[in-house]
Structures are given as structure tokens and as C-alpha cells.
Amino acid sequence: MRVQTRFFAFYRDLLGSTELTVDLPDGATVGDLVSSLRGRGRPFDGLPVAPAVAVNRTYRGLEAHLTDGDEVAFIPPVAGG
């Protein structure tokens, strides 16, 4: 399956990109996606092991299963207000 990742604020600066399409095995979780990205080495290993993530605009944990076409946003600590 294929998911669309998005990066904001500090994470965008870290990676130098706003989005990336990632291929994953069927049944992969958010945690698998994070491991896969971090496994690419620099600068991806600068992402936290357990970042906050939103799948299709809802916060989800690392154990959440992904499906083809999901939008997965990496959410740095938020600072609205």
C-alpha cells in the first residue's frame, strides 16, 4: 500500500520537504511507518521514535493500522494561541 506523509514546522525544516509518498507492506501500522522513515538515515533519523501523528486529520497512536491512500501527518509539539 501507499500512504501520503506530510511534515510541518520543525519536522519540515528537518527533512527539507513538506510531503513524501511512502510504500509499506499491507497491514503496516503508524509505528512501522515511523521505523521505515527513521531507517532511511539522515535526516529522517532526526524524527522522534514516537512522534504525534494524525491519520486522515485525526490523532492516532503508533499501533493504529494504516490503509492504502491514508494521509499521515507528522505533528511536532503544537503551540497555538
Partner 1 sequence: MLIEITHDPIDPDAVRRSVGGSHDGAVLLFLGTVRNHNDGRTVDGMEYEAYEEMASEVLRAIAEEAATALGTDRVAVVHRIGSLAVGEVSVAIAVSSPHRAQAYDASRYAIEEIKKRLPVWKREHYTDGERSWVRGQTPRPVEEKANMSEPPSDGRPGSAGAERGKGGMA
Applying CB under 8 A, the residues found at the interface with partner 1 are: 6, 8-10, 13, 52, 54, 57-61, 64, 73, 75-81
Question: Which of 43, 17, 20 lies closest to 33 in space, CA to CA?
Answer: 20
Sign of the torsion formed by the C-alpha atoms of 36, 44, 66 and 5: negative
Q: State the minimum distance, in angstroms, from the CB of residue 16 to partner 1.
A: 15
Least Å from the CB of residue 5 to partner 1:
12
Nearer to partner 1, 13 or 45 (CB): 13
Closest contact distance (angstroms) between CB of 62 and partner 1 is 9
> CB neighbours of 43 closer than 8 A, spacing ≥ 6?
14, 15, 16
Q: Which is nearer to partner 1, 26 or 63 (CB)?
A: 63
